[in-house]
Amino acid sequence: MFKLISLLFVGVLAQKGYALGQYVPFCAPGDSECFIVANIRHAISQSGNGLPQLGINSIETMSFKNVTLSQGLFNFVFPRMKVLGSKDCILEDMDLSFAQSTMSLTLECPMKITGKYKFSGNIYFYETSQEGNYVIKTDNMRTTINFKIDTIRGADSKRYWKLNVLEYVYEPQEVLRIQLENLFTGEVTKETPFFSPSTGDWWPTAAKTVEPLVSATVGGFHGFLDAFFQRVPLEQLSSQILPRQTYKARVPSFSNLECFSFNSVSDLL
């Protein structure tokens, strides 16, 4: 009954325009699941601000180097990449399984990725080499990330959680705009498939273009959340609501991270 009332109260706050990250829930003493879920939700809501009280930087903006994608007939290199949107992410769903030691998060975020690219390979049976600026943008990228949770002992002998990415899936809920200067400009939607108009299997093919970009972003989010768990002992995470902080300015973002190389769309972190 208490949880139902709490959910209704959160709904009222949301309707009145309050940010859920500012809402401090009440958990009954001994309700470990309530404390853990509340603290995780708050941490995620602050990914765009950072958690300076824990020494965790913001992931708005994320900057990466040397993101590459090889697909046999062509090769993309993104020497520099900047990702915006994490500060406006919404946590749509969270499934925490203590029995299986897993956690699933579904996020909906606007996404804007900019930088420079280098392309070499075969387009329509012609060899070509191009480079230029690029912009990839959507108002809503829905991403579900499945984590495995390991419990480890820290140097202080306290228990901490460590996250490992099992898998993730992503798909834009709004138009995906792709602009590759000197190479391609267009929009990707379910109504106007990209690359495979006859099959109806529109997204797996289009995903090849944005796979390394989304994957790097997932890596940044994973790093943020894993840092949170490694700074907060499980005993504290499960027994109290962690202090909230009023943010006046964002903490400097992650930058210049060496990234990943992908040989297929199915490659994971």
**What's the CA gap between 216 and 257, in Å, rounded?**
9
Give residue-wise pLDDT tens across range 175-198. Answer: 888 888 888 777 766 555 444 434
Work out whether strand 62-70 and strand 261-262 pair parallel, antiparallel, or are unpaired.
parallel
Q: pLDDT band at 260, cuts 50/70/90?
A: very low
Q: Which residue has the higher pLDDT, 250 or 244?
A: 244
Q: What is the pLDDT of residue 188?
A: 67
Question: Which pLDDT belongs to residue 191?
Answer: 57
Q: What pLDDT, on the 0 to 100 scale, is given for residue 104?
A: 97
Name the nearest CA neighbour of 213 among 137, 119, 123.
137
Instruction: For each of the domains in the chain, give its residue range(s) and CATH number, in order of start.
Output: 2-259 (3.15.10.30)
Entry pTM:
0.72
Instruction: Find tokens 């998060």 and name the residue.
Output: 105
Is the pLDDT at 163 greater than 90? The verdict is: yes
Q: Which residues contact 109 (CB under 8 A, 6 or more apart)?
A: 85, 86, 88, 89, 90, 140, 141, 143
| pLDDT value at 20 more than 50 | no
| Least-confidence region, from 40-49, 76-85, 207-216, 253-262 | 253-262
Q: What integer pLDDT is reported at residue 85 of this predicted model?
A: 92
Q: How confident is the model at residue 13 (pLDDT cuts 50, 70, 90)?
A: very low
Share of the chain above pLDDT 90, in %: 48
Q: Picking from 58-72, 145-159, 176-190, which range would have the lowest pLDDT averaged per residue?
A: 176-190
